[in-house]
Amino acid sequence: MEFHHNICPRNCYDTCSIISTTHKGVLISVEGDPQHEYTSGKLCPKALDEVKKVYSSQRIRYPMRQRSRYSGFWERISWDEALTVIAKKILDLKDQYGTSLPLALNKYSGNFGILHNAMEGLFTGIGATTRAIGSPCWSAGVEAQTLDFGTFFCSDPLDMAKAKLIWLWGVNPAWTAVHQMPIIFDAINQGAKVICFDTHFSATAARSHHYIQVRPGTDGLLALGFSKVLLEENLIDSNLESYTFGHKEFIDYLETEISLDHCSEITGVPISTIRELAVEYSQIHPACIWAGFGLQRYTNGGQTLRAIDALGALAGHLGEQGGGVQYAQFETWRFSGALQNPSHPITQTNRLVNINRFSEEVLSYTDPPVKMLWISGRNPLSQDGNLHQWKKLIHQLDLIVVSDLFHSKSSEAADLFLPITTHYEHWDLNAGYWHYWVGVNEPAISPVGECRSDLQIAWDVSSYLNKLIPGSCTFPTSGNEKETLLRELGPQMLEILSLKTPADILKGPVRAKFSRTAWQNRVFRTPSGRYEFFSAQAAKAQLPPLPVFIPPLNPSSDTPLRLLTPHHYSTINSQVYSLEAPMTDFILHLSPKLAQRCNLGAGDRAQVWNELGVLDVIIQPEFGIPTDVVIIFQGGSRTNSPLNRLVGTPLTDMGQLNLGAPGFALNETFVNLRKL
């Protein structure tokens, strides 16, 4: 038996540390690393199924070519053939258009390992190309916290165990961050009270002391209502003057613009509850708010998070051990970027396209048009909005390359499929965006079939390009994965991790040496060095300088129901955990009242529709859902038709400053319902 350190590379709060066991070169089991403070020896069921996934008959083991798109007729080809087709196409396009802009890359969160940035490196090595930027995930919240604190940073999640009051706000850790639940239960065992704010009675609400139902997209106003109570009751932190900026303007706004009647009417939370909760929040220390990604997927998402931050500040909870307003962090991601940025003589800049409007924006470019698309670690034909535009874009493209582990909605449209190694088959370097740990993922087994890592493929493409035309790509043509990962640990990361040499990380995961509590010294990274209620940076970006309430979008009379599609316990976005799970129809969760109004009962077939498309669903009435909201969990059912055919591309108010593009306001989706 041999044991290996691996790290789960999925886009997940937990970024678990794994010990895998092999016998004679075969992966036989994986378990949570007991040495890792956060993973604490446990993995979620999604990862526990991975041994089966690695050897699954559905795994693609060889490069494949599809005879015609959507035909499903895939034939095995050699790596030589695949790489020749790709390299020739790149050079032909460069030759034809006199620029490499017709080449596009769409990559996101299939695997967050740092060595997967090889794809960006390869594209940079080729020249100026068309790139997806921004994030479909967390942009509005990231920017809001950056405006308020100067950067987005959260306490070590273990710190939450010290809280005496925990507000879980628009976050569903019982499904999406399962390793946080034992920490929350620890806090409960030590007397903490937990309140869940959600639009429906979630799995997390079921594990909380109280559940507060908030009308979708109105949490910002609720936070302002709480702040108003603090003001009225004289419960504001008396030290605000010493570490915040603009509190007078904010208080002025609360005084003149916020009324509890209006707040209650819009949010659906009774005034007596607003008062009671606000007073409790100001009196209990430490009090922690965890604001999740769910509540910022709106056109006002950034303002919502700013209002929640402001509440935390007003009550004096920022920087207190076990308290504060937690969202996520990126401070443990200060890698050198050596892989991503091979030197290249800059003649032209990249054409940057919002990942959330990728197909629309790419189609709008005609000079030159995009002709070749590489999709890596992404499944846009499942996860993006406006799939009609994607159809059009596919039509325009000469070559679509998908690199993935399994076939996906996106590979149905591809010409070439490049089979990728799993994290059990390659070296990698991983950091979390919630906890403070960074670690090395070491290969436990040799690549299955002819699979290659994203990094190896990037080297190979560069090698073929340079063979055909020497000097046509500055990305390295070969290398060593382990050495490449060690180069990502530059002086800044060594300092953050308290390591003497990069190789020290090979011993096992390391926790960044930050103190456990964010902003403990109440020195912030904003231009004023203070917590900013009033942000001149926001004003400069044409955003309201104060956290004010801007209502979410309203439904139309044709489509009066808001469709929410939150994340499900059984998948990570489009990645299913059990490949053997049978195909099932979409389940529409709705209130019994709404079901009755539409003359629908449990198990009935119905259709959800809007101007973008129609989706067949099975009805499941459930208590705890408002009558104007319906829910289909992303990945909660496996079907051939993508859920996102109903989703457009509304954008969040924030994201541009930090991530280069606004986020995906996907909860601003409206539908109607009819019985079949």
Burial label for 540, CB within 10 Å (0-12, 13-18, 19+), is exposed
Give the Å distances, CA to CA, from 64 to 71, 104, 447: 13, 20, 17
Smallest gap from Cβ 338 to ligand SF4, in A, equals: 26
43: contact with ligand SF4 by CB under 6 A: yes
Considering only 20, 33, 38, 47, the residue that binds ligand SF4 (CB under 6 A) is 47
**Residue 202 touches which member of ligand MGD, Mo ion, ligand SF4, none, C-beta under 5-8 Å by kind:** ligand MGD
Question: How many residues belong to the chain?
Answer: 676
Contacts of 189 (CB under 8 A, 6+ apart): none
Smallest gap from Cβ 47 to ligand SF4, in A, equals: 3
Residue in the shown chain whose Cβ atom is closest to ligand MGD: 110
Smallest gap from Cβ 16 to ligand SF4, in A, equals: 3
Q: Running DSSP on this structure, what letter comes out for residue 651?
A: B
Residues 338, 490: Cα–Cα separation, whole Å: 9
Nearer to Mo ion by Cβ, of 137 and 457: the residue is 137
**Residue 408 touches which member of Mo ion, ligand SF4, ligand MGD, none, C-beta under 5-8 Å by kind:** ligand MGD
**Residue 379 touches which member of ligand MGD, Mo ion, ligand SF4, none, C-beta under 5-8 Å by kind:** ligand MGD
Which residue stretch of 43-51, 62-70, 109-117, 593-601 sits at the interface with ligand SF4 (rule: CB under 6 A)? Answer: 43-51
Q: Running DSSP on this structure, what letter comes out for residue 573?
A: T
122: contact with ligand SF4 by CB under 6 A: no
Nearer to Mo ion by Cβ, of 227 and 669: the residue is 669
Which residue stretch of 6-14, 189-197, 279-287, 492-500 sits at the interface with ligand SF4 (rule: CB under 6 A)? Answer: 6-14
457: contact with ligand SF4 by CB under 6 A: no
Nearest to residue 459, comparing CAs of 447, 476, 474?
476
Residues 299, 453: Cα–Cα separation, whole Å: 38
Residues 108, 106: Cα–Cα separation, whole Å: 7
**Residue 213 touches which member of ligand MGD, Mo ion, ligand SF4, none, C-beta under 5-8 Å by kind:** none
137: contact with Mo ion by CB under 5 A: yes
Peptide bond connecting 650 to the previous residue in cis, omega within 30 degrees of 0: no
Smallest gap from Cβ 128 to ligand SF4, in A, equals: 35
- Backbone φ and ψ for 278, nearest 5 degrees, come out as -65, -45
**Residue 320 touches which member of ligand MGD, Mo ion, ligand SF4, none, C-beta under 5-8 Å by kind:** none
Which residue stretch of 44-52, 128-136, 146-154, 623-631 sits at the interface with ligand SF4 (rule: CB under 6 A)? Answer: 44-52
- Concatenated DSSP letters of 20-88: EEEETTEEEEEEE-TTSTTTTT---HHHHTHHHHHT-TTS--S-EEESSTTS--EEE--HHHHHHHHHH
Q: Render the burial of 324-341: b for 16+ CB within 10 Å, e for the rest.
A: bbbbbbbbbebbbeebbe
Nearest to residue 650, comparing CAs of 352, 198, 293, 300?
300
405: contact with ligand SF4 by CB under 6 A: no
Smallest gap from Cβ 83 to ligand SF4, in A, equals: 31
355: contact with Mo ion by CB under 5 A: no
Nearest to residue 620, comparing CAs of 588, 585, 586?
588
572: contact with ligand SF4 by CB under 6 A: yes
**Residue 370 touches which member of ligand SF4, Mo ion, ligand MGD, none, C-beta under 5-8 Å by kind:** none
Here's the x/- map for ligand SF4, 436-455, by CB under 6 A: it reads as --------------------
Q: Which residues bind ligand MGD (CB under 6 A)?
A: 11-13, 108-111, 136-137, 169-172, 175-176, 197-200, 202, 214, 216-217, 219, 292-295, 376-379, 383, 403-406, 408, 420, 454, 564-569, 571-575, 634-635, 643-644, 647, 666-667
The amino acid at residue 284 is: I
Distance between alpha carbon 662 and the CA centroid of its chain, in Å? Answer: 13
**Interaction with Mo ion in 289-348: which residues (CB under 5 A)?**
none
Residues 495, 504: Cα–Cα separation, whole Å: 12
Give the Å distances, CA to CA, from 42 to 35, 52, 92, 182: 11, 18, 50, 11
178: contact with ligand SF4 by CB under 6 A: yes
Question: Do residues 521 and 153 touch, judged by C-beta distance below 8 A?
Answer: no
Smallest gap from Cβ 215 to ligand MGD, in A, equals: 7
14: contact with ligand SF4 by CB under 6 A: yes
Smallest gap from Cβ 496 to ligand MGD, in A, equals: 24
Smallest gap from Cβ 379 to ligand SF4, in A, equals: 16
Contact residues toward Mo ion (CB under 5 A) are: 137
Contact residues toward ligand SF4 (CB under 6 A) are: 8, 10, 12, 14-16, 43-44, 46-47, 178-179, 572
